[in-house]
Each structure stands twice: as C-alpha cells, then as structure tokens.
Amino acid sequence: MEISVRTGDTLAYLSELFNIPLQLIIDSNPDINPAAIKTAEKIQIPGYVSVPYTINQGETFEKIAVSKGIKVDSLLLLNHTKDPAQLEIGERIFVPEKVVVPFSPVKTPLDFKRLVKLINNLKRVYPFMKVKTIGTSVLGNPIHEIRIGKGDKKVHMNASFHANEWITTMALMSLLNKYLLSITNADMIRGRKAVSLYEEVEISLVPMVNPDGVDLVLNGPPSQLQTELININEGDDDFVHWKANIRGIDLNNQFPANWNICRENKKPKAPASRDFPGDEPLTEPEAVAMAELAKNNHFDLVLAFHTQGEEFYWGYEGLEPTESELLAIEFEKVSGYRAIRYVNSHAGYKDWFIQEFRRPGFTLELGRGINPLPLSQFPNILSRAEEIFFLALDY
C-alpha cells in the first residue's frame, strides 16, 4: 500500500500506526532515507492494501476506524485531501486493510504466466521481497529468484526442475505466501516470532526452474515447435508426462557430479521426454543459471522440491557434512517422509551442491503416485512440506 507522508511523519511512527515492524518498512523503501523523509514522499507500507469505501449515513472517521479495528490517523493519512468533518453520504474514501489470508492458488496449476502474475501480486503487497532474474530458459522465459530476509544464514529452495512436477511450484509459492503473512502479522513459527527469522535468515527461492517444460505440460507445445516436440515425444502429442526442458534434456541430470556415470546409466541417448542428460554437463541455460546461483552465493542449505515418493535424499558419495544427518533425522520426524541417504543417482542439483560445497543438500520427493500428481493431493503435500520448510529456516 502506498501512502504520501505528511509533515512530521516518520518511518517509526508509520510502523506504530500500522503495527508493522520498522525494519520491514525500511526494507520496503530502499531508496528512502529514513532520517530525511520529505513531505509528500511516497512510502510503501507492507502487508496492507488500500480498499475503496463508500460513506454511509452518520458515519465518521472515528466510527469507521472502530468498525474496522484501525486507528483514525491511518484514515486521515490515506484521505488527507478530505475534510473529516464534511463527509457526505455516498462519498468514496480509502481504508487501509491488512492482508491476513493468502492469495496463492491452491486449485489451479501455475504455468509461467500465472506464476509471474502471482509474484507481481506478492511483490506489490510485500515490497520488502526482492525479485530478480537469474537467467532465461531456452525459449527466453525469465527464471526468477525471490529473496526474503536479512540474516547471515542463507537457505535456498527450488521447484519444477521437472516439467511434470509443476505441483512443486504451487507448494513453494504457497509456503512463501504463508511466510510473508506470518512476518507481517506478527505470527509465531515453531515458537518464535516470524520476524525474528526474517532478521536471522535470508531465503532464496527459485519457484520454476523449467518454465518452458511446465508450460508444455500444462498448455501444450508452441506451434513452431509442435512437430519437433512430437518427434522427441515418440510421436505422441500428449505431453502431460513430459519431464525434460523444451529441448528434451533432463535438467536434473545436467550437473557435473559424476555426469559421465549418469550418461552411461540413462537409457535415452538422444533428446527425450525424460532422463536424457545431454551431450555434456551444463549445456542448458536453466541448469547454468542454477549452477551460477549457487556459485555466487554462500548457501548453507539447499532444498530441491520434486515429486513423488514421500521420501527425501540427503547424501552423496560420502561428501555430505555431519549436520546433514542431524537435519535428515529432524526432517523425517516432522514430515513423516522417509530419509534415504544414498541412491544410485548422479548429476542432480543436490548431488552437485554437496560435492561442490560440502554443505547440506536435500532432494524432497513430495506426494505419492504417478507424475503429474493430482491436485487432490495438494493439501497433504503442502502440510508436510510446510514442516520441512519452516524447520529449514529454524534449524
């Protein structure tokens, strides 16, 4: 919500007026000097929207404030051009309304376009959330990274490496939305104030690593690539089970962690709907973007959201640190997912992260069944992923 400051307003006063932590207001206005706010300067207030309201007979700002559970001065601030003593029936004013419910979708799959719309809506309400492009897909779609928090501890999570696992993007965005709500509404997370986690942890999220592939699964092929993609898909024009990127490369087989073994073990030797690791590691722009993200940041922990199996993998070639096992025990306890240390798999993002940085990395296999998992599983997937999500921030 955007407001225009009046003479004498300070960020500290606005924090008190709207019951929003001062640091969130500062972080939502990075170009504002808190010590030298100018009259009429525009300030973003996180966690609020400005809602039109029509004056009824006998209403005053005081009565409206009481009915809405807000302070009178918040109405005066949003409607500073109006005379509160001269309100007329039918006149429209604006009322600050705190956002207390999520608006991430739980019934509609997120393709790339809907994801961008959701990110923009969240950024509008929570302007302390930072969004940047870390790379582009084969078809030129931006790969977004979302950052939240101030702390030295850095936790990274990603989703939709695999196209037919698009439900992981829904899960990660829903968890993000809940975290944002918790921060601005002074909620508790695992017995701690959410805003204290914001101060101690910086979280990095890439909600859709493979936007081209997700769009292919959900919306069908681009007309200019239809023939080529049907050929890669063994003549089938149904792409619902497609796992790879748009070039038929499995992005989670693209990383230089025993990639040669992966290439030898995988059945496809050419572009396919799944499992083909490419002709070399890191040939695909999506995989390159994810590798560069990890190289340029000191992530303490990485979680890769996949489906399915209701289990997670936490080791690689004995290179994982001791704390990985401690985390695995806790993740298993809170989620009910089975902890598996080693599987006969190589060249995955988690594998490479552990090999490259010797820090904890986890591949989470959400839900159970055949990919893509049905939306009927989403509530259960979300509740169990939530336990791991918040434990990862608070470990």
Q: For helices 378-394 and 167-184, give the axis angle rounded to 10 degrees.
A: 50
CA distance 289 to 270: 23
CA distance 347 to 125: 38
Catalytic site residue from 91, 199, 365, 387:
365
Tokens, residue 160:
């939709």
Tokens, residue 86:
């001269």
Q: Residue 39: CB partners within 8 Å, gap ≥ 6?
A: 5, 6, 7
User: Backbone phi, then psi, for 136, in 5-degree steps?
Assistant: -130, 155
CA distance 87 to 55: 7
Q: How far is CA 333 from CA 194, 200, 212, 271, 308, in A?
A: 22, 24, 35, 39, 19
Please say if 330 is a catalytic residue. no
Catalogue the active-site residues: 365
